[in-house]
Amino acid sequence: MEYLHTMVRVRDLDASLDFYCRKLGLVEVSRMENEKGRFTLVFLCAPGDLERAKDKKAPTVELTYNWDPEDYDGGRNFGHLAYRVDDIYAVCQRLMDGGVVINRPPRDGHMAFVRSPDNISIELLQNGVLPPAEPWASMPNTGVW
């Protein structure tokens, strides 16, 4: 398992970048605009991690800016912790066997979400690609993730 990033939703991308980059000292690694989904993702890292972060080998902070205004009640501005795993199906099965609800099953063989006992959302991302497989491919979402 490899720690990837922490996601935080932001209301004002410019103000957030001013804080995280100019004031705190983080640097921008990458940015993705998604017109269909109406959001922007900006990944930041510590200056000493920049070269490794460009190769996705250092942890980052993901700023998620949703273009449509939204109030983030109940801590929804904190998004999730993300981990890369070698076999997402095996990890999800182990979690399920331990009584953990798979909120967003890995239907695509790539991504799943679960929640901690304190309701923190945790994203699991497959290292590489696995073909869709049952029971995951037809399993519905449960709750929120």
Query: For the segment 80-104, what is each residue's pLDDT rounded down to a tens digit?
Result: 889 899 999 999 999 999 999 999 9
123 is an active site residue: yes
Which residues are CB-contacts of 87 (< 8 A; sequence separation ≥ 6)?
Answer: 126, 130
**Contact call for residues 143 and 101 (beta carbons, < 8 A):** yes
The C-alpha atoms of residue 4 and residue 57 are separated, in whole angstroms, by: 8
Average pLDDT over residues 31-45: 97
pTM of the model: 0.73
Residues 7 and 59 in one domain: yes
Given the residues 33, 51, 62, 123, select the one marked as catalytic.
123
Give the residue from 29, 53, 74 where a domain finishes.
74
Residues 15 and 61 in one domain: yes
Average pLDDT over residues 20-39: 94
Boundaries of domain holding 125: 86-138
Give the residue from 74, 99, 118 where a domain finishes.
74
